[in-house]
Amino acid sequence: MSFQNPVFIPGPTNMPEALRKAVDMPTLDHRSPLFGQILHPALAGVKKVLKSENAEIFVFPSTGTGGWETAITNTLSADDKVLAARNGMFSHRWIDMCQRHGLDVQIVETPWGEGLPADRYEEILTADTAHEIKVVLATHNETATGVKSDIAAVRRALDAAGHPALLFVDGVSSIASMDFRMDEWGVDIAVTGSQKGFMLPPGLAIVGFSPKAMQAVEAATLPRTFFDIKDMALGYSNSAYPYTPSVGLLNGLNMACGMLLDEGLENVFARHYRIAEGVRAAVRAWGLELCAVSPDVYSDSVSAIRTPDGFDANKFVSLAAEKYGVAFGTGLGEVAGKVFRIGHLGSLTDVMALSGIATAEMVMADLGLNIQLGSGVAAAQDYYRGNQASSTKAAA
């Protein structure tokens, strides 16, 4: 693998040099007033990225998985009922975590490649007249399959059923890359991490709690210590943490939010859409198909590309790394060996995307797939030439 080449995995993503420098800082006394000058602006920046006026933001030294655990342990009790669809590896992992915590998960099995079945959610919630379901889980962007789901439709399902359940959303590979509207969509807990749209190294679990979710904390009895938001909130009131924080990463998060907001969130989302559309144009030119079943569920942060039957897609990922020093994503779970993934989120430009598309063509040709060299590159070039970027600040 070469450090000179950009990565095309769906996280961790490429880092702008300014953020690398922001994370690489001298040791700071995290109990000094200076730490508060990093902490509070970072929390305020995340709140803006989530498009929320009311959320309480908590940032833990962890990853998105720790964010999931923060969500469930602070709001639920043993045997509480949870509704979730399993349509990919990451929705599966959240379900597994709930089951390990002794929660009763009602699972809606959904084909991998499809979005969340909001209509089925509405049927189940309407039938739950006793309101036994306490939480609805939703994975906004299923990283394993490159599928985006309609969170607004899930909220409409809850409202149509007149159901009081909380709505928890995994936005790990969507927030700060794709449009996310915490308040407008009625999201009660939003979970993300530092290593994707925020363009930082792994190490931070970033969680937003709505006022309704904060109320649920008072009745929750699942055990929690490290991820207790009450302890964290008390620490915040003193510009501190209940334990040692990741000061450098928080400094980077503060700067990352500033970069995203300076670029303009709508420009950030448009940039991700444009780069993704170029990749999708290349996939069509190759005569291949995405795992995502239709354009309305295409992800703008990662594309999972199906390889021909009988071809082991893991060979593609291995050869790309060994021969060209470029990282692509492997298939996971039910699509392991059936897809390779191109991550196109975070710090990325049209030109960088073209290098990944060109490398993918060389690898497929090396492996004997019927790929015309230059076909995907030309298709992406045509798209990028006709759809110029309005801003490249955060991508630089």
Model confidence pLDDT, tens digit, residues 99-153: 999 999 999 999 999 999 999 999 999 999 999 999 999 999 999 999 999 999 9
Sorting pLDDT into bands at 50, 70 and 90, what band is 373? Answer: very high
Q: What is the pLDDT of residue 4?
A: 87
Q: From CA 281, how far away is CA 376, in angstroms rounded?
A: 7
Render pLDDT for 285-328 as a digit per residue (tens, 0 to 9). Answer: 999 999 999 999 999 999 999 999 999 999 999 999 999 999 99
pLDDT band at 389 (very low <50, low <70, confident <90, very high): confident
Indicate yes or no: pTM above 0.75. yes
d(CA 24, CA 53): 31
Banded pLDDT at 390 (limits 50, 70, 90): low
Give the pLDDT confidence score for residue 394 in this predicted structure: 44
| pLDDT given for residue 256 in this prediction | 98
Strand partners, 166: 135
Indicate left, alpha or beta for 296 from its phi (over 0: left) and psi (-120 to 50: alpha).
Answer: alpha
Does residue 16 come out as left (phi exceeding 0), alpha (psi in the -120 to 50 range) or beta? Answer: beta
- Give the model's confidence band at 331: pLDDT under 50 very low, under 70 low, under 90 confident, else very high: very high
| Of the candidates 249, 323, 250, 266, the residue with the CA atom closest to the CA atom of residue 300 | 266
For residues 330-355, one letter each, b for 16 or more C-beta atoms within 10 angstroms of the residue's C-beta and e for the rest, the string is bbbebbeebbbbbbbbbbbbbebbbb
Q: What amino acid occupies position 354?
A: L
The answer to whether the CB of 90 falls within 8 A of the CB of 341 is: no
Would you state the structure tokens that stand for residue 368, as one six-digit string?
Answer: 């004997």
Contact 320, 313 (CB under 8 A): no
Pairing of strands 204-209, 189-193: antiparallel
pLDDT at res. 3: 81
pLDDT band at residue 271 under the 50/70/90 scheme: very high
Which runs of consecutive H residues, i.e. helices, occur in 128-221?
A: 151-161, 211-217
Number of residues written out for the chain: 396
Rounded to the nearest integer, the mean pLDDT of the chain is 96
* Domains of the chain and any CATH numbers: 17-262 (3.40.640.10), 264-386 (3.90.1150.10)
Which strand ranges, in their side-by-side order, compose the sheet holding 329-330? 289-290, 302-306, 339-343, 329-330
Q: Is the predicted pLDDT of residue 378 greater than 70, yes or no? A: yes
Pairing verdict, β 147-148 and 141-142: antiparallel
Residues 280 and 376: their CA atoms lie apart, in Å, by: 9
Share of the chain above pLDDT 70, in %: 98
